[in-house]
């Protein structure tokens, strides 16, 4: 090879396709100059390897680390697969100068062997906090074992040879009785590429620990964000939080047990206020509240000045309580600390236009008579979370197949204020391989919802399923709409087995049902029924016969709420004339586009896509669909017999 260590051709292990060339060449130049780039290209284009090939030589030359961020484990592992291909490519070419390394990271709760963490930590953040405490208390044997070179050296030697998934790291560490997460940490600063979730850099609490472990600053990183259309919503979620009325009884007991009785009047005041809010509100909808009024009300009730120092003290004591519990081998949980964290954020949000405070009355699904109040603090501006990272990294690359409006993404992420270019590729699909329709009359508009409508939708789904050779995916805006369709007789209309992903399914149960559904493609096929915006409609691939057809029911607009209204108003005040488009339309269309693309994972896949809602033909919706979907979209009558004929005609064509 004559291209050298610092040219992208040395890192591209395949015969390059024209579309990939259109990505790699300009991307290489932009990243080399430390600029940012957004790439929209259809599924199957080969964006992952194109981005890696463009950034690896620059990372090598400038001594940077590539952080590849993705939503699902399978997407992260695909990065490691591509790194393996690059390694094999250079080995075959006898190019010993080119060596690439990488690893995937999981949350601490899935990279831990300590029983305390496994039993009590419910989230990556809580697992990380527990891990820090256990190490400081010298309570983790797996961490202690890492001082044994006889255990560690063989593992590190093995993992340094080739890129490694989190599963490989976990298996080797488990066999040696050492900490998998710390083993990965030892390797992090030595590898070229780290594949991980968005939270590692965008959650401020996790970011500081992550950078400390790497021993680098943000400007030492080249960032690649896969499925980047998710980023604004992820940022808003990171900046938001909620607190329910169930928290206070436990906090009162905890404060008394720990002799922190100065907080008891505050907790009793919260308990009293939440009870009144529950009794006063007769409707189970979210209502905006004045954050300052809530605190003033609580001050009067507990006769205590509620300021930042009060809540900071509560947070600090909560941390001490967790440490004390860990020493005793108990769950390190502190309601006192959790309440302090929430109200400190609440206090700091007062007077800010980029937040909204609200209250909601909820009921238990199995006991509607049991009502309780929830206070919610919602971030409205994703730039608050994203800009500190995107403005500081050496370069960032944003990949997606369903961006719709690139300018809108630049505005929402703050990239419009940075040196950012866009690469938008036309659809690479053969028009004969994809056929998309939207129905003329059917819709899930509130005014259209009725038993007759749901029955009609069920009949349309059955028509698609019966005419599809193998598997079919059905995605709807909410679990309640899915239930209405199922109750309208869908099971009696179709001969194929239905796999229904319930609202309370764990990630493990979700994955198990998905794998079972995929195996049905070896037989007569089946139907997957799930919600738009969930793991099945965005984070899972269904190549080939694993999903021949997709039915997207409705446009998944967010239900009306004070949060949505405030979000639209805030964005309108920042981007005149675009508030509704940015805060309401585009997020919904992106969810629908992601689901529609589940059946199209390579350039050779054939897919029939039916969008069951006449609103997909409107200008504001259609213009935000990805190019590959726009080019094949036509109107069709909602008569099931006409739809069935269209499906059969599509799949019978060669």
Instruction: Report domain extents, the chain.
Output: 8-100+192-236+394-424, 241-379, 431-652
Q: What is the DSSP letter of 11?
A: G
Whether 241-379 and 8-100+192-236+394-424 are alike in CATH topology: the answer is no
Quote the pLDDT of residue 530: 92
In the 3-class helix/strand/coil scheme, how is 157-201 assigned residue by residue? HHHHHCCECHHHHHHHHHHHCCCHHHHHHHHHCCCCEEEECCHHH
**Looking at per-residue confidence, does 138 or 80 come out higher?**
80
Give yes or no for residue 185 having a pLDDT over 90: no
Residue 3 clears pLDDT 60, i.e. is over it: no
The mean pLDDT of 563-591, rounded to a whole number, is 93
pLDDT over 90 (residue 574): yes
Average of per-residue pLDDT values in the chain: 90
Place of tokens 């009725």: 450
CATH topology of domain 241-379: Fumarase C; Chain B, domain 1 (1.10.275)
- Write down how long the chain is: 654
Burial (CB count <10 Å: 0-12, 13-18, 19+), residue 529: buried
Per CATH, which fold does 8-100+192-236+394-424 belong to?
Answer: Rossmann fold (3.40.50)
Q: Per-residue b/e over 104-118, b at no fewer than 16 CB within 10 Å?
A: bbbbbbbbbbbebbe
Confidence band (pLDDT; 50, 70, 90) for 641?
very high
Please tell me the CATH superfamily of domain 431-652, with its number: P-loop containing nucleotide triphosphate hydrolases (3.40.50.300)
453: which 2 tokens?
């409508």
Phi and psi at residue 25, in whole multiples of 5°?
-60, -55
Residue matched to tokens 């527990």? 130
| Residue 336 scores a pLDDT above 90 | yes
Residues of the chain above pLDDT 90, percent: 60
């Amino acid at each position: 090879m004559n291209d050298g260590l610092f040219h992208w051709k040395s890192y591209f292990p395949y015969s390059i396709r024209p579309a990939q060339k259109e990505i790699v060449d300009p991307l290489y130049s932009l990243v080399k100059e430390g600029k940012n780039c957004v790439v929209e290209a259809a599924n199957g284009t080969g964006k992952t390897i194109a981005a890696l090939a463009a950034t690896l030589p620059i990372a090598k030359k400038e001594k940077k680390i590539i952080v590849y961020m993705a939503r699902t484990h399978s997407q992260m592992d695909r990065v490691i697969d591509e790194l393996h291909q690059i390694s094999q490519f250079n080995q075959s070419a006898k190019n010993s100068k080119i060596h690439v390394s990488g690893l995937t990271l999981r949350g601490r709760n899935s990279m831990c062997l300590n029983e305390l963490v496994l039993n009590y930590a419910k989230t990556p953040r809580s697992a990380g906090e527990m891990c820090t405490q256990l190490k400081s208390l010298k309570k983790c044997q797996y961490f202690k074992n890492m001082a044994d070179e006889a255990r560690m050296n063989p593992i590190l030697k093995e993992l340094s040879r080739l890129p490694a998934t989190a599963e490989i790291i976990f298996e080797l560490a488990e066999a040696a009785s050492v900490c998998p997460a710390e083993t990965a940490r030892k390797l992090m600063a030595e590898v070229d590429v780290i594949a991980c979730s968005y939270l590692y850099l965008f959650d401020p609490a996790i970011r500081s620990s992550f950078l400390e472990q790497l021993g680098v600053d943000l400007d030492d990183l080249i960032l690649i964000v896969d499925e980047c259309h998710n980023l604004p919503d992820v940022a808003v979620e990171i900046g938001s939080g909620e607190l329910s009325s169930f928290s206070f009884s436990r906090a009162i007991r905890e404060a008394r047990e720990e002799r922190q009785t100065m907080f008891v009047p505050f907790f009793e005041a919260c308990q009293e206020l939440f009870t009144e809010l529950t009794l006063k509100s007769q409707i189970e909808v979210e209502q905006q509240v004045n954050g300052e009024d809530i605190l003033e009300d609580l001050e009067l009730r507990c006769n205590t000045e509620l300021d930042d120092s009060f809540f900071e003290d509560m947070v600090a004591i909560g941390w001490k309580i967790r440490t004390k519990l860990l020493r005793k081998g108990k769950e390190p949980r502190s309601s006192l600390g959790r309440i302090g964290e929430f109200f400190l954020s609440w206090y700091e949000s007062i007077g800010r236009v980029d937040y909204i405070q609200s209250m909601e009355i909820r009921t238990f699904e199995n006991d509607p008579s049991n009502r309780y109040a929830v206070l919610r603090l919602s971030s409205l501006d994703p730039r608050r979370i994203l800009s500190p990272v995107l403005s500081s990294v050496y370069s960032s690359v944003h990949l997606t197949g369903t961006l719709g409006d690139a300018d809108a993404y630049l505005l929402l992420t703050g990239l419009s204020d940075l040196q950012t270019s866009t690469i938008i590729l036309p659809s690479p699909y053969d028009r004969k391989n994809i056929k998309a329709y939207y129905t003329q009359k059917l819709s899930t508009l509130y005014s259209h919802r009725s038993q007759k409508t749901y029955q009609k939708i069920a009949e349309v789904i059955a028509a698609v399923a019966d005419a599809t050779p193998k598997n079919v995916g059905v995605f709807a805006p909410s679990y309640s709409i899915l239930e209405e369709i199922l109750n309208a007789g869908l099971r009696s209309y179709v001969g194929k087995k239905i796999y229904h992903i319930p609202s309370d399914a764990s990630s493990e149960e979700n994955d198990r049902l998905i794998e079972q559904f995929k195996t049905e493609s070896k037989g007569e096929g089946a139907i997957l029924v799930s919600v738009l915006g969930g793991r099945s409609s965005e984070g899972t691939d269904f190549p080939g016969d694993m999903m021949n057809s997709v039915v997207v029911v409705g446009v998944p607009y967010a239900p009306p709420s004070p949060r949505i209204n405030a979000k639209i108003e805030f964005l309108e005040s920042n981007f005149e004339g675009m508030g509704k488009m940015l805060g309401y339309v585009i997020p919904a269309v992106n969810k629908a586009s992601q689901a529609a693309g589940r059946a199209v994972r390579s350039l050779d896949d054939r897919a029939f896509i039916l969008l069951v809602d006449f609103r997909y033909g409107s200008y504001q919706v259609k213009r935000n669909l990805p190019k590959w979907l726009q080019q094949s979209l036509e109107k069709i009558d909602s008569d099931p017999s006409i739809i069935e004929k269209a499906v059969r005609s599509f799949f019978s064509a060669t």
